[in-house]
Amino acid sequence: MTAASLHPLFPTLFREEKEAAASHSPTFRIETTLHASYGFDRIAGIDEAGRGPLAGPVVAAAVILPLGEDFPGIDDSKRLSAAARERLFAVIQARALGVGMGIVGPEEIDTLNIRRAALLAMKKAVQALPEPPDFCLVDGRDEIPVAIPQGPLIKGDQRSLSIAAASIVAKVTRDRIMRAYHERYPVYGFDRNMGYGTRQHREALKRFGPTPIHRRSFRGVLQP
Amino acid sequence: MRLFKKDKTKSRVGEAGEGLARDFLVGKGMKILAENYRTRWGELDLVARDGNTLVFVEVKTRTQKRFGSPLEAVTPDKQRRITRMAQTYLLEKGLGDVAARFDVIGIDLTGGAPRIDWIPNAFGGL
């Protein structure tokens, strides 16, 4: 299958917002346009967490929200406190029309490379939705390998409420996984660094070497 | 990355007509998958989904009084070209065995309010 189903209208349709986007909170604006002008009514926002860390999986979420309802507080997961994320995670789980998760572990990250692993996680998240969406709004600039019309949205987590919701679900889930790994491998501080390469984490790597959940293809994991 | 390039030569009239056709189809409950989808054979005006059927739509906009149905403006040669473009679309989207049909929509802009003439299944299958 060649280039999947990138919505051909998409790049021109929402380009004008790109610049203004960063400073605003996400809205349903794009979703509403897709509904009103193009007839889509199950629009999934898709985002992933954990591209950067040296350890742990990359986790993606696909979230379909009921358009038109009010979701106060939902924002890009990077702009929220951990406590706010936890609270909104519960709100999303309760009110979303569908939530799907996709998890790709460190072995696959090493064999695929992180970019393709992240795309795979997003594909799995879409497939894990209880009912398929009719349009996928994907954070970033890549298209995911599913035969559903889709549009990439740069800074999507700051522009689309559906993507922002997905970013929260992905981040909270990944953090929970890393806290669980902390129980098994306590010396790396996974409960605080979530696998990211903090100084304390790098020093532990130097002294104790990598665990099975470390990404061996990442620089700094295997000592030179 | 831009898969969609606007055809510079396409007239404004044509664009207005396609916008009307698009809204008309959305009003019928269809989902618009692509607009001005480019292939080496030319452009598909609209690609929509009607339930589980894929619909390739040719839009004919008329601004001058003429006689005859919009279907007559889609010559057999144009039909063959649209069919080929549809096959290209299916191939590029990795869609194998889906039900598909060809519709023609005539938009008449000669009077006051535009008149929309919808001919589902206007010509032969794939």
ipTM of the complex: 0.70
* A150-163 burial: b if 16+ Cβ within 10 Å, else e: bbbbebbbbbbbbb
Tell me if chain A has a CB within 8 Å of the CB of B30.
yes
Q: What residue segments make up the domains of chain B, in order of their start?
A: 12-123
Predicted confidence (pLDDT) per residue in B30-79, tens digit: 999 999 898 988 999 999 999 989 999 999 888 777 667 777 778 888 99
Question: B2 and A11: CB-CB below 8 Å?
Answer: yes
Nearest CA to CA, how far is A88 from chain B (Å)? 31
| Cβ-nearest to A39 among B31, B92, B95 | B31
Asked whether the beta carbons of residue B93 and residue A141 sit closer than 8 angstroms, the reply is: no
Size of interface A-B (CB pairs under 8 A): 60
Determine, for residues B3 and A149 on separate chains, whether the beta-carbon distance falls below 8 Å: no
Instruction: Give the range of the structural domain holding residue A75, as residue numbers without chain letter.
Output: 10-173
3-state secondary structure of B95: coil
User: Mutate which of A2, A38, A135 to disrupt the B interface (most B C-beta within 10 Å)?
Assistant: A38
Instruction: Tell me the three state secondary structure of residue B47.
Output: strand
- Cα-flanking dihedrals φ and ψ of residue A87, to 5°? -65, -45
Residue A208 lies in a domain: no
DSSP symbols for A69-95:
S--TT---GGGS-HHHHHHHHHHHHHH
> Which class does domain B12-123 fall in?
alpha beta
Compute chain B's Rg from CA coordinates.
14
Q: Assign B1 a pLDDT band (cuts: 50, 70, 90).
A: very low
Q: Is residue A182 part of a domain?
A: no
Find all residues with CB under 8 Å of B80, minimum gap 6, and list them: none
Q: Write out the two tokens for A47.
A: 């985002």
Question: What residue in A sits closest to B48 (Cα-Cα)?
Answer: A38
Q: How many angstroms separate the CA of residue B23 from the nearest CA in chain A?
A: 6
Q: What is the pLDDT along chain A (224 residues), one digit of tens a residue?
A: 333 344 544 544 555 455 454 557 899 999 999 999 899 999 999 999 999 999 999 999 999 999 989 999 999 999 999 999 999 999 999 999 999 999 999 999 999 999 999 999 999 999 999 999 999 999 999 989 988 999 999 999 999 999 999 999 999 999 999 999 999 999 999 999 999 999 999 999 999 999 999 999 999 888 75
Is residue A206 one of the residues assigned to a domain? no
Distance separating alpha carbons of residues A223 and A201, to the nearest angstrom? 13
In a domain, A211, yes or no: no
Tell me, yes or no, whether A223 lies in a domain.
no
Tell if the CB–CB gap between A38 and B23 is shorter than 8 Å: no
The CB-side HSE value for A121 (13 A sphere, CA atoms) comes to 30
pTM as predicted: 0.82
Closest CB to B31 among A8, A9, A38: A38
SS3 at position A175: helix
On the question of pLDDT at B126 being above 70, the answer is no
Nearest CA in chain B to A37: B23
A9–B4: do the CB atoms touch at under 8 Å?
yes
Residue A158 forms part of a structural domain: yes
Instruction: Give the span between the Cα atoms of A194 and A213, in whole angstroms.
Output: 12
Tell me, what CATH number does A160's domain have? 3.30.420.10
Q: Is the pLDDT of residue B7 over 60?
A: no
